[in-house]
């Protein structure tokens, strides 16, 4: 297994962290082609390490990485968690990792972005209303943030990760600090859902599966054995 990309995500990448916030990382790795094609070979799609101690302050590190083929497949569905990897701050990268990030525009599809991001937001809303893990502010913040990302992505082609210069940054901070009611949060998010649907109808993104597959095939050829 060879890591080709590792990025910082979560509250520290979004500019919504506190001193106690954990460090969350996401990455992409390659499994040797020989292992995948061998008799009985299995593709390891995910690598996950949670709760590694980071420093004396007690902050922890959460690492999740995806095998390149699995990552690319999810990216073609415009999964918001996956698309963030293309724009999040780079911690470590090989040449292949940087080339992967340069392919971002080939994955974009307006309908899939609207569906995936709004669906992710609704999932966060469900957790908010259920008071999951006793962390409603975390899910409420993610609910609005992902809708902000979708609206801007559809209008500009850029995937925002750092929220600090966005007009609703203070609103996100208020949500994280429990200063807004559930109703106020949902009202703002409904407005953003409408903006996303309007932007979807005007957006002209076209996915290029051939370009993505060409990249994957070249990776498989280059990494027959590691």
pLDDT tens, position by position, 5-23: 999 999 999 999 988 888 9
* Cα distance between residue 96 and residue 117, in whole Å: 27
pTM for this one? Answer: 0.90
Residue 56 has pLDDT above 60, yes or no: no
pLDDT tens, position by position, 79-127: 999 999 999 999 999 999 999 999 999 999 999 999 999 999 999 999 9
Q: How far is CA 147 from CA 35, 60, 198, 206, 216, in A?
A: 39, 27, 13, 21, 30
pLDDT tens, position by position, 57-84: 555 567 899 999 999 999 999 999 999 9
Transcribe 34-83 into DSSP letters: HHHHSTT-----EEEEEEEE-STT--EEEEEEEEHHHHHHHHHTT-HHHH
* pLDDT mean across residues, the chain: 92
Q: What is the pLDDT of residue 54?
A: 53
Residue 52 has pLDDT above 60, yes or no: no
Decide: 34 and 71 in contact? Cβ < 8 Å.
no
Q: What is the pLDDT of residue 122?
A: 97
Domains of the chain: 2-104+208-222 (3.30.460), 110-202 (no CATH)
């Amino acid at each position: 297994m060879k890591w080709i990309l590792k990025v910082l995500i979560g509250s520290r990448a979004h500019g919504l962290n506190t001193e106690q916030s954990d460090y969350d990382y996401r990455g992409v790795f390659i499994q040797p082609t020989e292992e995948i094609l061998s008799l009985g070979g299995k593709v390891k799609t995910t690598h996950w390490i949670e709760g590694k101690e980071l420093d004396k302050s007690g902050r922890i590190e959460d690492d999740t990485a995806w095998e390149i083929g699995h990552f690319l497949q999810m990216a073609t569905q415009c999964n918001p968690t996956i698309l963030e990897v293309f724009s999040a701050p780079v911690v470590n990268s090989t040449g292949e990792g940087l080339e992967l990030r340069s392919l971002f525009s080939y994955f974009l599809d307006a309908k899939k972005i609207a569906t995936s991001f709004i669906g992710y937001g609704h999932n966060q809303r469900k957790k908010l209303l259920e008071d999951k893990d006793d962390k409603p502010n975390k899910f409420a913040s993610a609910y609005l943030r992902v809708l902000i990302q979708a609206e801007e992505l559809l209008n500009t082609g850029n995937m925002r990760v750092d929220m600090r210069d966005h007009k609703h940054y203070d609103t996100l901070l208020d949500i994280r600090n429990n200063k807004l009611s559930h109703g106020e949060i949902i009202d703002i998010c409904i407005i953003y859902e409408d903006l996303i649907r309007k932007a979807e109808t005007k957006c002209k993104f076209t996915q290029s599966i051939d370009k993505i597959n060409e990249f994957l095939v070249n990776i498989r050829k280059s990494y027959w054995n590691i």
